[in-house]
Amino acid sequence: MTLPLPKEVFEQHLIALGKTGAGKSSALRDMVEWLLDHKERVVIITPKADWWGLKVSADGKEQGYEIVVFGGDHADMPLHHLSGKAMAELLATGNRSAVLQMRDFMPGERTQFWIDFASNLFRLLKGKLYLVIDEVHNFAPKGKILDPKAGLMLHWSNKLASEARGLGITLLAASQRPQKVHNDFLTSCETLIAMRVTTKWDRDAVKDWIEGCGDPIQGKEVLNTLAGMKRGDAWAWSPEIEFGPKQVHFPMFKTFDSFAPRKDQGTVKLKGWAETDLSDIREKLNQYVKEVEANDPKLLKAKVAQLERELQTALIRAPQKSNTVVHKTSEAEIRRILQDEIEPWREYAQTIRRELVAARKLLEDFSRAASSVTNASGTFLAQSVPDYPKFTAQKYDAKPIQQELLAENTHKTSTKYSQIIPTKNLIPPGPRPGLAENWRKTRDPNGLPVGERTVLTAVAQHGGLDRAHLTILTGYKKSSRNAYIQRLQQKGYVEDNGDLVTPTQEGMTALGQYEQIPRGGQALREFYQQKLPVGEWTVLKVLLDAQGAPVGREAIGEATGYQKSSRNAYLQRLAARQLVTTAGRDMVQAAEVLFRN
């Protein structure tokens, strides 16, 4: 096969970006076939199960490449999610090419497999290897990582991209979700294959690569033509070897089209399936999986339960058999039955007892290992937390607090302070009655948590919001807001397209009827008067009284009586909620949305 790329591109990492149907996986297949034709060692990682076609010719009648397929459809062998370390050892030290298809893995299983595989491949590799990662955004995700294991997965993906080339590993990656690929991984790839993309966020991912690796001036033509490119067409750019940017076309690969939807693959019988001797691989993998399972606490508990059931069965069956025969046979026959039939049951029961003792000993070892953590957490949780005094807006007397604040700030006049915080409106922090409290108590039939429901309500009401406006309308800071978005996305209730969050049909169904969140103006100001802690509301009230005009920090401190540290802390929290913005040196102002209906 003749590639539209110089062979020098295979001396460095490469990434192909394009929307579904643009032809990026086909371009990657062309490159893999070229490498296999040149007797290079290739390992393909895919979260799907569509690379097995390498083993068969295009018409399904001839043998393809001698490559071992693990997992998914048409596999030579199944792929176990606990075998990541063993697979790395086999492929790092042998001379085999392989496809690892993880379509049957749950996300957590895929994460653990990649951590085990990538870390051990990095440690054990001997010789040169091309590691192909399809849909790489599943292994190097962009955005805030809340799961520690997902963070470790990202760490090893970026480590391979930044350090593995010196060890002999060259990465060829592809993604149909360019905006989801982590920037560190993206810009570690020296060669870009840019195919058709249509959304701003995917286009921005290509722009990020150009700004990190290429020339922004040369990149303008690339960015301006991406949306109109045909399937198989691409911009190829490898600044390090001074190739491109150049428009190229990738031809149809020569092996079986396993990428096509199943209904389009026809009824071709795969006569040319390449056979490979797998006996040594099967033996090593089975042995490793058994070792891992033998040390898994969950599996140990299941084994103990199974052994206990078998023991009860053994104890019940033996007496029943002896009672059935004793009264109907001779003494010699009884002895034979005792020796030949009952004695094996007794030995079997003793064997089960021994296995139970061994299994319980392993469980005790795990329990002892966790005891220190359990004791420490128990001690902490046993400490009592004093209850915060409960107040209501109607009964709370603010005069003592107002007098105390005025006493601490004797250089401030009581007249000024009373104008900013009238005694009758001073409300203590914490839950308060009113619009916000009633709104927060509302829950959907599925029991959606308050934070998730709040974000989903705002998104549903507007048909989609950027993150900045979500913060303004919900009052959640960046970290909380992003956490709720991620949880809703995992449930399939919202789609996170870069900075824009939109509701799904499932999300609208789960939300059901909902109370409208104020969009701005007076309603939004009343909303925050009920919702904000007293310190934040006091500072915000000064800015609201200024009708959106900038106010100096010193003036805010003088008007509220707050010291510099407290004043700045409240302003920082309001800025995190995007309710205030800076307006020059030491000047702040209320957000425009608070005045716009």
Q: What is the pLDDT of residues 458-485, one digit of tens each?
A: 888 777 888 878 887 787 878 888 888 8
Please say whether the beta carbons of 287 and 90 come within 8 A.
no
201 and 53 within one domain: yes
492 and 535 within one domain: no
Which residue did the predictor score with more confidence, 38 or 586? Answer: 38
The residue range of the domain holding 427 is 399-511
Which residue did the predictor score with more confidence, 265 or 571? Answer: 571
315 and 454 within one domain: no
Q: What is the mean pLDDT of residues 15-26?
A: 93
CA triplet 351, 354, 360: central angle to 5 degrees? 140
Task: Report the DSSP beta bridge partners of residue 14.
Answer: 172, 191
Out of 461, 483, 511, a domain closes at 511
301 and 248 within one domain: no
Please say whether the beta carbons of 429 and 534 come within 8 A.
yes
Please say whether the beta carbons of 14 and 173 come within 8 A.
yes
Look at residue 378 and tell me if it is in a domain: no
* Residue 439: pLDDT band with limits 50, 70, 90: very low
Residue 506 corresponds to which tokens in the numbers above?
Answer: 């499932």
Q: Is 456 helix (H, G, I), strand (E, B) or coil?
A: helix
pLDDT in tens, 239-290: 989 999 999 999 999 999 998 886 655 555 555 555 556 666 666 666 666 6
For residue 417, the model assigns a pLDDT of: 38
CATH at 437:
1.10.10.10
Look at residue 1 and tell me if it is in a domain: no
Q: Which of 115-124, 225-234, 294-303 has the weakest average pLDDT?
A: 294-303
For residue 531, the model assigns a pLDDT of: 78
Which residue did the predictor score with more confidence, 349 or 277? Answer: 349
* Count of structural domains within the chain: 4
For residue 463, the model assigns a pLDDT of: 77
451 and 558 within one domain: no
Look at residue 431 and tell me if it is in a domain: yes
* Residue 432: pLDDT band with limits 50, 70, 90: very low
* Residue 392: pLDDT band with limits 50, 70, 90: very low
CATH at 266:
3.40.50.300
Helices H / strands E in the chain, number of each: 22, 15
For residue 533, the model assigns a pLDDT of: 86
For residue 291, the model assigns a pLDDT of: 65
180 and 45 within one domain: yes
For residue 481, the model assigns a pLDDT of: 85
On the question of pLDDT at 355 being above 50, the answer is yes
Whole-number Å distance between alpha carbons of 424 and 418: 10
59 and 43 within one domain: yes
Please say whether the beta carbons of 149 and 110 come within 8 A.
no
Out of 369, 391, 407, a domain closes at 369
pLDDT in tens, 401-431: 555 555 555 444 434 433 444 433 444 444 4
Please give the helix or strand (H or E) that residue 25 lies within, else none. Answer: helix 24-37
Q: What is the mean pLDDT of residues 581-590?
A: 85
Look at residue 19 and tell me if it is in a domain: yes
Q: Which of 15-19, 302-306, 317-321, 475-479 has the weakest average pLDDT?
A: 317-321
Task: Report the DSSP beta bridge partners of residue 172.
Answer: 14, 132
Look at residue 2 and tell me if it is in a domain: no
For residue 356, the model assigns a pLDDT of: 78
On the question of pLDDT at 327 being above 60, the answer is no
Query: Percentage of residues in the chain with pLDDT exceeding 90?
Result: 35
* Residue 349: pLDDT band with limits 50, 70, 90: confident
Look at residue 387 and tell me if it is in a domain: no
Sheet bearing 500-503, strands edge to edge: 465-466, 500-503, 494-497
Look at residue 362 and tell me if it is in a domain: yes
pLDDT in tens, 181-221: 999 999 999 999 999 999 998 999 999 999 888 888 889 99
For residue 2, the model assigns a pLDDT of: 83
- Residue type at 106? M
Out of 291, 307, 323, a domain closes at 291
403 and 317 within one domain: no
For residue 407, the model assigns a pLDDT of: 58
354 and 246 within one domain: no
354 and 284 within one domain: no
For the whole model, what pTM was predicted?
0.51
Look at residue 30 and tell me if it is in a domain: yes
On the question of pLDDT at 138 being above 60, the answer is yes
For residue 37, the model assigns a pLDDT of: 95
578 and 457 within one domain: no
* Residue 329: pLDDT band with limits 50, 70, 90: low
Closest CA to 152 of 125, 197, 122, 127: 122
65 and 108 within one domain: yes
* Residue 441: pLDDT band with limits 50, 70, 90: very low
